[in-house]
A and B are shown apart, each in its own frame.
Chain A
């Protein structure tokens, strides 16, 4: 990624621990974890919000919501 300070940031939050565990296991670290690890106070709220939007009670099934997410990302030419 472009932001070295963000990528190298050591964090005690959930994502900081996940990054350390992946590195210790020699597993690839999904780079989005660095975005979550950088400002845990901001991103813990984002994680909970995302979980509620994607998995909370809804007339739309979780599978359909994931498909809308993938369709939106495809429309924005974002491969994520």
Chain B
């Protein structure tokens, strides 16, 4: 389980659901709407040039809004950036325990670095 699976398990409160989705989304205990969303992400990830209006139509029929689809596309696209960034520079994976610790920290804290300290007020 990598860092984002660990964060997802923290936020969703279930490592079982996360592992089920990652192993075989078709049989995972999630809603049909969520299965449709993951099927779309799979197409986007592996055959993005094949994504067409009918894919979006299926998601809309499953109840997802334009904003939800936009956000799902953004997450998939961003993590393609991270996957290439990591593989191309040879960033090494960490131990399962380290990912668990990282997941616990990132679940509440998120990703933004702290704001830089403000200029002290002028006299």
How distant is the Cα of A12 from the Cα of B113 in the complex, in angstroms? Answer: 13
Q: Is the interface of B mostly helix, strand, loop or mixed?
A: helix
With a cutoff of 8 Å between Cβ atoms, the chain A residues found around residue B85 in the complex are 35
B51 CB–A CB distance under 8 Å: no
- How far is A23 from B45 in the complex, measured between Cα atoms in Å? 36
Tell me the dominant secondary structure on chain A's binding face.
Answer: helix
Q: In the complex, which of the residues A50, A58, A59, A66 contacts B11, with contact meaning CB atoms closer than 8 Å?
A: A66
For chain A residues 60-80, which have a beta carbon within 8 Å of chain B?
60-76, 78-80
Question: Are B12 and A63 in contact (CB-based, < 8 A)?
Answer: yes
Residue of B12, B22, B75, B114 most packed against chain A (CB within 10 A): B75
User: Which residues of chain B (11-69) have a CB below 8 Å from chain A?
Assistant: 11-12, 18, 21-22, 25, 34, 37-38, 41-42, 45-46, 64-65, 67-68
Instruction: Decide if A75 touches B46 in the complex (CB within 8 Å).
Output: yes
In angstroms, Cα B5 to Cα A1, docked, is 22
Contact B98 A50 (CB under 8 A): no
CB distance from B100 to the nearest CB of A (A): 13
* Contact of B4 with A53 in the complex, beta carbons under 8 Å: no
Contact yes or no, B71 A58, CB < 8 A: yes
CB contacts (< 8 Å) of A14 on chain B: these are 113-114
Residues of B contacting A53 in the complex (Cβ-Cβ under 8 angstroms): 71, 74-75, 78
> A10 an interface residue at 8 Å Cβ cutoff?
no
| In the complex, chain B residues 82-110 whose Cβ is within 8 Å of any chain A Cβ | 82-83, 85-87, 89-94, 98, 102, 110
In the bound complex, CA of A72 to CA of B101 (Å): 21
Interface centre among B68, B98, B110, B113 (most CB of A within 10 A): B113
B97 to chain A minimum Cβ distance, whole angstroms, is 10
Residues in A with CB closer than 8 Å to B75 are: 53-54, 60, 65, 68-69, 72
